Amino acid sequence: MNPLAVIDKFYPADDELRRLLLVHSWHVADMALRCEARHPELGLDRSLLLRGALLHDIGIVGTNAPRIHCYGDMPYLMHGFIGARMLRTLGLETEARFCERHTGTGLSRQVISESILPIESRDYFPESMEEKLVCYADKFYSKSRPNEVKTFEQACNSLMRFGEDGVRKFCEWNGLFN
Ligand SMILES: [Fe+2]
């Protein structure tokens, strides 16, 4: 399925939320595809990268984050799991994995139980190289400042709240994809 048709289905109105989702998702897609182009030796699937990047944040609509035009009732940390559920209703299992494995550098069992999120408490880390690259590219963009690109240092700083492990993983990916 065309990822833009999926966005149309869940975000039918041309409003601020849909525009923000599109701007952010295209930034992430653009960065992921530029990384892929620099690293043909990794043998990444460009079509999968594009679908994963365009759909990774599809679940934000279900969260309570008014500063980015989201008026749902779930905590923002749930957006990946909400998105995964939405995509699974369409049978998009491969794309659903990008949703539930991209927050921070992937949410650990510990973060999930400490945050008391209403999902099974286990590790949700990106596994395929495409999942890792979309997660990596996403860390350079914030939806609250959609037109700014973070430096590597700023991206590292924003990962501090998920613990040292997240920063270490991000540095490792930087060596692979940058
Ligand atoms: Fe994102």
| 3 state SS for 28-82 | HHHHHHHHHHHCHHHCCCHHHHHHHHHHCCHHHHHEEEHHHCEECCECHHHHHHH
Q: Ligand 1 centroid vs 50 CA: distance in angstroms?
A: 13
Which parts of 68-149 fold into alpha helices (H)?
A: 79-88, 93-100, 109-114, 129-138
* Best CA proximity match to 129, nearest among 58, 52, 56, 31: 52
Q: Ligand 1 centroid vs 42 CA: distance in angstroms?
A: 23
What does the pLDDT read at residue 1?
84
Q: Ligand 1 centroid vs 32 CA: distance in angstroms?
A: 12
What separation in angstroms does the CA of 11 have from each of 38, 62, 140, 152? 33, 11, 24, 31
What does the pLDDT read at residue 164?
87
Residue 18 C-alpha from the chain's centroid:
16
Q: Ligand 1 centroid vs 95 CA: distance in angstroms?
A: 14
What does the pLDDT read at residue 130?
98
Q: Ligand 1 centroid vs 40 CA: distance in angstroms?
A: 24
Output phi, psi for 43, to 5 deg: 60, 40
Output phi, psi for 177, to 5 deg: -105, -25
Q: Ligand 1 centroid vs 78 CA: distance in angstroms?
A: 13
Sequential pLDDT tens for the chain (178 residues): 899 999 999 999 999 999 999 999 999 999 999 999 999 999 999 999 999 999 999 999 999 999 999 999 999 999 999 999 999 999 999 999 999 999 999 999 999 999 999 999 999 999 999 999 999 999 999 999 999 999 999 999 999 988 889 999 999 999 999 9
Q: Ligand 1 centroid vs 148 CA: distance in angstroms?
A: 13
Alpha carbon distance 40, 57 (integer Å): 26
Reported pTM:
0.96
Q: Ligand 1 centroid vs 43 CA: distance in angstroms?
A: 23
Q: Ligand 1 centroid vs 24 CA: distance in angstroms?
A: 7
Residue 121 C-alpha from the chain's centroid:
19
Q: Ligand 1 centroid vs 122 CA: distance in angstroms?
A: 21
Contact (CB, 8 A) for 36 and 46: yes
Q: Ligand 1 centroid vs 39 CA: distance in angstroms?
A: 22
Query: Within a 10 A sphere around the Cβ of 176, how many other Cβ atoms?
Result: 13
What does the pLDDT read at residue 63?
98
Q: Ligand 1 centroid vs 27 CA: distance in angstroms?
A: 9
Domain 3-177: assigned CATH number: 1.10.3210
